[in-house]
Structure 1
């Protein structure tokens, strides 16, 4: 294993983390912006108002995108195991 192999695996790992976490992060950002807009329009500054909708939305998205997330992680695991098997 040389530096190029290690960097290749590291790059694939970072890409896997980004793509697997993207649905939850994007939904959290969209819900946060929506709640912030509602709070700005109504001048309701309740701290807990932002947490509950975000938690519910993230739980729903993770439940719905679970197969996608599992597929991304499984694909990364298969690539790493194949590279171990071939000796890099």
Structure 2
């Protein structure tokens, strides 16, 4: 029995979203943990100390990994368009 093309597209979209979101989220988790430990050790409870490092790390992660993310999304979009044309035929 063959798999429904819509279900396959949704499954692939969720996997792509997971693969694209994992590096920035893990970087934010790591820097948040480091800042929290630093604040607990030094007893400095400054809100900007928790926010600014996360902002800088996110900017660096997106600058480094952003082009690869865009290529992955473009590849998935091209695959979807190819499947749409294959399923419905070429427009006239």
The gaps in structure 2 that reach 5 residues or longer are: none
* Greater C-alpha radius of gyration: 2
User: 1:43 deviation in Å?
Assistant: 1.1
The gaps in structure 1 that reach 5 residues or longer are: none
Aligned equivalents of 1:20 and 1:74: distance in 2?
Answer: 13
Does the 8 Å contact 1:24/1:61 carry over to 2?
yes
Q: How many residues align?
A: 86
SS in 2 for 1:45: coil
Superposed CA deviations along residues 55-82 of structure 1, whole A, max 9, x for unmatched, are 0110011001112101210121111011
Query: Which structure's relative contact order is higher, taking Cα pairs within 8 Å and 6+ residues apart?
Result: 1
What is the aligned partner in structure 1 of residue 60 from structure 2? 60
Structure 1: 4+ residue segments shifted above 4 A: none
Aligned equivalents of 2:30 and 2:81: distance in 1?
Answer: 36
User: 1:84 deviation in Å?
Assistant: 0.6
TM-score (norm 1): 0.89
